[in-house]
């Protein structure tokens, strides 16, 4: 009788490296006093960036207008 083994079909997510802020524009979205880490994400992702905040792009975000203005700047004319 041959031994059996299973091969996992699920590959683990790679851990994203934390890139240092390189630009003053990018610093606007880092380490705000209202930051509350989204516990649905891996703890290693807690780099205090707005994109990992529990309130990111929600009505509960006190800076939502700033994010929306930033997105409007990227839209094609």
Helix or strand (DSSP H, E) at 67: helix 64-74
* CA–CA distance, 69 with 8 (Å, rounded to integer): 44
Determine, yes or no, domain membership for 15. no
The predicted structure's pLDDT at residue 69: 77
pTM of the shown model? 0.56
The total number of structural domains in the chain stands at 1
Q: From first to last of its 77 residues, what are the pLDDT tens digits of the chain?
A: 666 666 655 555 555 544 554 556 678 899 999 999 999 999 999 999 999 999 998 999 999 888 887 666 655 66
In a domain, residue 58? The reply is yes
Residue 42 CA to residue 15 CA, distance in Å, equals 9
pLDDT at position 39 is 95
Domain containing residue 45: 32-74
Burial of 55 (0-12, 13-18, 19+ CB in 10 A): middle
Is 16 inside any structural domain? no
């Amino acid at each position: 009788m041959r031994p059996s083994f299973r091969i996992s079909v699920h590959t683990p997510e790679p851990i994203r490296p934390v890139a240092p802020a390189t630009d003053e524009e990018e610093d606007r979205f880092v380490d705000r006093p209202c930051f509350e880490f989204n516990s649905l994400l891996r703890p290693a992702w807690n780099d205090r960036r707005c994109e990992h905040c529990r309130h990111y792009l929600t009505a509960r975000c006190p800076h939502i207008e700033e994010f929306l203005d930033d997105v409007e700047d990227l839209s094609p004319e």
